[in-house]
Structure formats: structure tokens, C-alpha cells
Structure 1
């Protein structure tokens, strides 16, 4: 796509005769200050002003959007989408303030496509930076200027790389990981009341006893619940994949991957069996394989 086609959008309107959905008001000021932890007395009391950085908040259209967005802005995005630049991320903004905003001020604004960059290559992918300038008015008087820059880009292909994050091993759960290394899934059992618990804890939730021993899980279980992870693509993970909350035959539940069937075929109630998979030269993890697929990783049942 010739850059000249994009450059031609510079100076065209992005929004015309926009109007804030609400006048400046004290409830929104209060919510903003509470969220930001800003206790400046200028934003409360008998004659408050709005925090200057709220400038854009008064112009936002919410889920239903604004009617004032221009055809040129939509055409620019359609052109970029058609060229494969389908992703977008906000990069930065700049604000200038002309006067304080007070409760009751009615907000109007116009916006212009100020610049479209040449093609740039970033870690996210290749694309174009688009800067819009919004001129904000309060009851017809200039109130401030808001410049907003986004990157419209084609996502760079991502491949799993590096090692999985290491589990945090401490004195309270070291025995569990020692069991995993020996292909045993160990469940804590309270010596005081016999309650089973997972994950491992230093004391019993039922009776408070700090004394415990272990039992080895049979490895049989069912999918109690699950999610399918699509995004974000972390290093060493290859989405999409299913993460299940598996209820073991012993009654406790464990979170782990469900394997052996496509991610979109995992179902609540599906029977699964414990399997161990070495994910790199240092780390082995307990996973759960659907019982209708018997090949693959080492599976272990109870050994008495």
C-alpha cells in the first residue's frame, strides 16, 4: 500500500461537533479521585474543579460510541485493515490545559487526524502510528487539547520460546514436588481429623492441626471445570490450550492442563487420568489425559 494513500488522511476530521454524554459532574470526579488515590482538596468541597487529567474522560462515548466520528477516520481504519494491519494498541497521549473544568460545564469537541507515520517495525509487529488531536471546549470556551497516538499493526508471528516459569518451591510444598519427581501425586492428610487437602498447606483448614501425612492419588479424576487459553501467548506456551479444574477420585481438586483431546473437545465431567510430562530438561509436571486417548506420557496409578 503506497504511503501517499495514508498521508492523504492527514488534516482530515476524525470527529466533528462531538458532544460529551454528560456535563462535568461531581460523582465522576469523586470516582476518578478514588480510583487514582488522589486526595487533592481542590477536587472536593463546595466549589470543586475536575482533575485536569480527566480531560479525555468527558469526551468518551462509552460502549455505544459517539455519533460524531467522521467517515474519513473510518475509511483510514478500513484501508489499514484491508492491508493486514488488523491489530491496534494505544501508545501514548499528550494533554494541554486551557482552563479548569467545573461541575455543570458542557463539553464539546472536534478531532483531526494530525499525522500518519511511515511504516514502522516494532516488537509487536509492523504498522503505522496514527496521531489524532482533539480540541475540547467547555461551554464553548477552549478547555484543552488531547493528542492520542495508536499503532495500527500486523501482529508479528510468535513462537513459544524459553522455559516455562518455575514453580515456587518452599518448605510447605517441597514434598509435593518431590513426589512429582518420582511420578507420584501426593495429597496431604490431616493427622488430627483425616481431612484431605490440596494444594498443600502448613495446617488443616478443618481442625487447625499442624500435623499431617500424605496419601498417593490413584490418578483417576474428572473435569470439574475448565477454561481455554487463547491470549496472551506467553513464552514456552502454545495457545490455544485447555486448563482444567480436575476433581480427583479422592475428592480434592487440582488445576492443570487437560491433554489427549483437542482443546475444544474438553467437557465438564470428562474422565481423565494423571500423566507426567517433561516440559524441559529441568521441569516435569503432572497433567491429565482424557481417557479416550491412551497414547503418550507416562501414566501412574496408586502403588499401595
Structure 2
């Protein structure tokens, strides 16, 4: 995990897997998401309240990743898309068969509005030196998913810290 295998340092800070969402932000998804958790905030249900408070309808900030998750299947798409592909690439290239999310932070910027088309990029922020934990020996890495609207405004950053590891004896 050191020496010539430090190829990943070249990826730090470089946007990867930039992807435009397959569908725009839509009110039906917002209502379904709010209904599933019984979120009755008028900001997400009442157009007049949304106009007064935020200048128009917005999506709940907690739905940010909804606009990033590709559908499992779509016509004319040959490959299945995986969210957080940069993470899976690291696991594979580092030959670390196991991984957990040890920390997740979501920072909101501009509101996501009905009709926005989101673009995401995955940015590797850091990779640690080898560590040994109760789970095994491996590396921690941080991947940020940056979300931007069709105007290029940053609307949020979803930051994941992973621990990829090999169990003792593997």
C-alpha cells in the first residue's frame, strides 16, 4: 500500500465521473420523499409558502443524493452505473476486499429547485497511510460528491470517509 502503489495521489483533487442526472428535479419525487418520512413542512407542499420563504419550490436538502442516484436500468444504457464509483475503483485497485463508511458529512449550499438538472462529480480528497483496526489492515480515504445545478452553482457536497481493509489472514 505504499511505494509504487501510491498512484492514487495523482487523483487527489481531480473531479472524476462527472455525470448529468438522468432526470430533472421534480415535484412528484419531492412529495413521495416527504410522504415516506411524514415530512409535513409546508415549504415542500405549499407553493405559496415556498414562494414567500424561498422564492419558489425547493427540494428538501436531505434529498440531495436522490438526484445523483442513477436508475438501476435505463434503455440504451449498456453498463450498470454505480454510485461512488471512485470508491469502488480504489477498493479494486488497492485489493482491499472489504470497506465501510466510517463518517459521512453533508454540507448544503444553494437550494435545489424544481426543474434543476443536477451534475455530480466525485473528488478523491485524501488517502491515509496504512492503518490496522479491529476490522483489519487497510487505508482510509475521503471521497466528496459535489452537486451542481445547470447554472454551475454548488448546491451541496456529500463527503464520505471510507475504510477499505483486508481482514487478518486474507
More helix by share: 2
Query: What is the TM-score normalised by the length of structure 1?
Result: 0.44
Tell me the residue number matched to 1:155: 167
Tell me the residue number matched to 2:106: 95
**Residue 69 of structure 2 contacts residue 83 of structure 2 at CA under 8 Å; is this kept in 1?**
no
Tell me the residue number matched to 1:52: 61
Query: What is the TM-score normalised by the length of structure 2?
Result: 0.74
Q: Calculate the aligned-residue CA RMSD, in Å.
A: 2.8
Q: Does the residue aligned with 1:8 lie in a helix, a strand or coil?
A: helix
Tell me the residue number matched to 1:267: none
Q: Does the residue aligned with 2:100 lie in a helix, a strand or coil?
A: strand
The separation in 1 between residues aligned to 2:40 and 2:159, in whole angstroms, is 26
The separation in 2 between residues aligned to 1:49 and 1:149, in whole angstroms, is 28
Listed one character per residue, the Cα deviations across residues 9-63 of structure 1 (whole Å, up to 9, x for unaligned) are 4525462431112211122222322333322211112243111122222112243
1:136 matched to 2:152: no
More strand by share: 1
The separation in 2 between residues aligned to 1:109 and 1:11, in whole angstroms, is 17
Which structure has the larger Rg over C-alpha atoms? Answer: 1
Tell me the residue number matched to 1:79: 93
What is the deviation of 1:143? 1.2
The separation in 1 between residues aligned to 2:37 and 2:83, in whole angstroms, is 30
Q: Does the residue aligned with 1:38 lie in a helix, a strand or coil?
A: coil
The separation in 2 between residues aligned to 1:51 and 1:137, in whole angstroms, is 16
1:116 matched to 2:127: yes
Task: Rate the CA distance shift 1:62–1:86 in 2: closer, same or farther, 3 A.
Answer: farther
State how 1:175-254 maps to structure 2 within 5 Å.
Answer: none
The separation in 2 between residues aligned to 1:121 and 1:98, in whole angstroms, is 36
Pick from 148, 153, 158: which aligns with 1:146?
158
Listed one character per residue, the Cα deviations across residues 202-234 of structure 1 (whole Å, up to 9, x for unaligned) are xxxxxxxxxxxxxxxxxxxxxxxxxxxxxxxxx
Tell me the residue number matched to 1:31: 32
Tell me the residue number matched to 1:301: none
Of stretches 7-16 and 24-33 in structure 1, the one that deviates more from structure 2 is 7-16
Number of corresponding residues: 152
Tell me the residue number matched to 2:75: none
**Residue 131 of structure 2 contacts residue 138 of structure 2 at CA under 8 Å; is this kept in 1?**
yes
What is the deviation of 1:113? 0.7
**Residue 14 of structure 1 contacts residue 73 of structure 1 at CA under 8 Å; is this kept in 2?**
no
1:8 matched to 2:16: no
Q: Does the residue aligned with 1:92 lie in a helix, a strand or coil?
A: strand
Tell me the residue number matched to 1:163: none
Structure with greater contact order relative to length (CA < 8 Å, sep ≥ 6): 2
The separation in 2 between residues aligned to 1:3 and 1:44, in whole angstroms, is 55
